[in-house]
Amino acid sequence: MPAILSIGDAFPPVVLHQEEVMQFSQQLFNQSFPDINRLLHVFPHGQVEKRHFVKDLDWYQHNHPFVEKNNAFIESAIDLGSRAISNCLHNHEYLKRQVAYEEIEAIFLITSTGIATPSIEARIMNVLPFSEKTKRIPIWGLGCAGGAAGLSRAFEYCKAYPKAKVLVLAIELCSLTFQPNDLSKSNLIGTSLFGDGVVCVLVSGDEVEAESICSLESIPKILATQSTTMRNSLDVMGWEVKNDGLYVVFSKDIPVIVEKWLKPIVGEFLHEHQLSMERINHFIAHPGGKKVLDAYVKTLQLDSSMIEISFNVLRNYGNISSATVLLVLKGFLQKAISGEWGLCTALGPGFSSELLLVRWD
């Protein structure tokens, strides 16, 4: 049972409140949408209060070529990624001692909002003193499911190499994909929802003495994972790649899909491990948006208190794509007690589901 030992994060300095972004969107899209005032209801209804951005609001009013946006992504990703890693490995809140960079055997880099070759973790290895033999596993394109998928791949690595300590580093700078000339409702919804940030998670194998490193009274262990992809659902969520960058694809049917498609998947996954939702103490859900969280409550028959941490993350950070579920997980680290069960879930392009079963020991 690979263990989650620490989590660190880093956010850009620009913080914008939802009212500011709504006024910006009203000015920008006023001539394009005849029913703009009705559409702007997505801003307050989404219950996002503030978000972090790598640029100030004036920057987003202008067109920027893809190369400029992507260069901004690389620069900020290296800076914020390095900070999140350091915060994770040196986190006195979760660790009894600092974990040296040289102890890390592999880095799983998760992103969908920028492109770089060499990938970002290679560039960070020229900033932080990782071993030259550190394995690099960049994973691109999983969108909002990427954080949970990264944990799953780290789980599998640590099962194969039980002495390993690995990092899952989710870097998402969603604002740099903003398209001021995209007049779709998907773009307007994305503008109301997405933010920027980086989260890093330290995972270790069974033969690492977790108790000698981690100061948590109860340490979360990953017991099992499952990935599921819905056939013929490529148009539900993702990017449309055009000359000037990435254009968001965001189906209005996602909450309905959660209700109809996800429930049997969750039920079968838990049944394989002789569990049911009634036995789950902590629901670690990626907050794709208010409607998605509401759909979780409805279809899985949850008490609303079980998505409180997810809602708090959505309220204070918005949707940071893959990194968001890792922030939600962070909220549970010191809340859970020994013997309790957690279910981690996230949905992303594919259309796909990622599930992880967690127990605190």
Tell me, what's the pLDDT at 38? 80
Q: Buried (b) or exposed (e) across 99-116, using 16+ Cβ within 10 A? A: bebebbbbbbbbbbbbeb
Nearest to 345 by CA among 108, 148, 112: 148
* Each residue's pLDDT tens digit, 276-323: 999 999 999 999 888 889 889 988 989 989 999 999 999 999 999 999
Class of the CATH-defined domain 220-360: alpha beta
Q: By the 8 A CB rule, do 223 and 357 touch?
A: yes
Residue 137 burial class via C-beta count within 10 angstroms: exposed 0-12, middle 13-18, buried 19 and up:
middle
Domain assignments of the chain as residue spans, ordered by start: 3-212, 220-360
The two three-digit tokens of residue 305, written as one number: 């208190």
Which amino acid does the sequence have at 357? L
Nearest to 283 by CA among 300, 265, 260: 300
DSSP 177: G
Distance (Å, rounded) from C-alpha 361 to C-alpha 358? 10
Tell me, what's the pLDDT at 29? 78
Distance (Å, rounded) from C-alpha 23 to C-alpha 232? 37
Tell me, what's the pLDDT at 204? 97
| Average confidence score pLDDT of the chain | 92
* Each residue's pLDDT tens digit, 58-101: 899 888 999 999 999 999 999 999 999 999 999 999 999 999 99
Provide the 3-class DSSP secondary structure of residue 122: helix
Nearest to 172 by CA among 317, 61, 351, 18: 317
Total residue length of the chain: 361
Tell me, what's the pLDDT at 37? 79
Q: By the 8 A CB rule, do 204 and 143 touch?
A: no
Topology of domain 3-212, CATH: Peroxisomal Thiolase; Chain A, domain 1 (3.40.47)
More confident residue, 251 or 285: 285
31 pLDDT above the threshold of 80: no
3-212 matches 220-360 in fold: yes
DSSP 84: H
* Each residue's pLDDT tens digit, 317-346: 999 999 999 999 999 998 889 999 999 999
pLDDT-wise least confident of 16-20, 130-134, 172-176, 178-182 = 178-182
Distance (Å, rounded) from C-alpha 182 to C-alpha 167? 36
pLDDT band at 185 (very low <50, low <70, confident <90, very high): confident
Question: CA distances (Å), 135 to each of 131, 140, 154, in order?
Answer: 9, 16, 12
164: left (phi over 0), alpha (psi -120 to 50) or beta: beta
Please list, in sequence order, all residues whose beta carbon lies within 8 angstroms of the beta carbon of residue 265, skipping any fewer than 6 positions away: 226, 228, 353, 355
Q: By the 8 A CB rule, do 92 and 11 touch?
A: no
Q: Is 200 a catalytic residue?
A: no
Instruction: Give bridge partners of residue 358 from the DSSP assignment.
Output: 222, 342
Percent of the chain whose pLDDT exceeds 90: 72
Tell me, what's the pLDDT at 207? 94
Distance (Å, rounded) from C-alpha 324 to C-alpha 321? 6
Q: Which of 88, 144, 158, 344 is catalytic?
A: 144
- Quote the pTM value: 0.94
DSSP 258: I
27 pLDDT above the threshold of 90: no
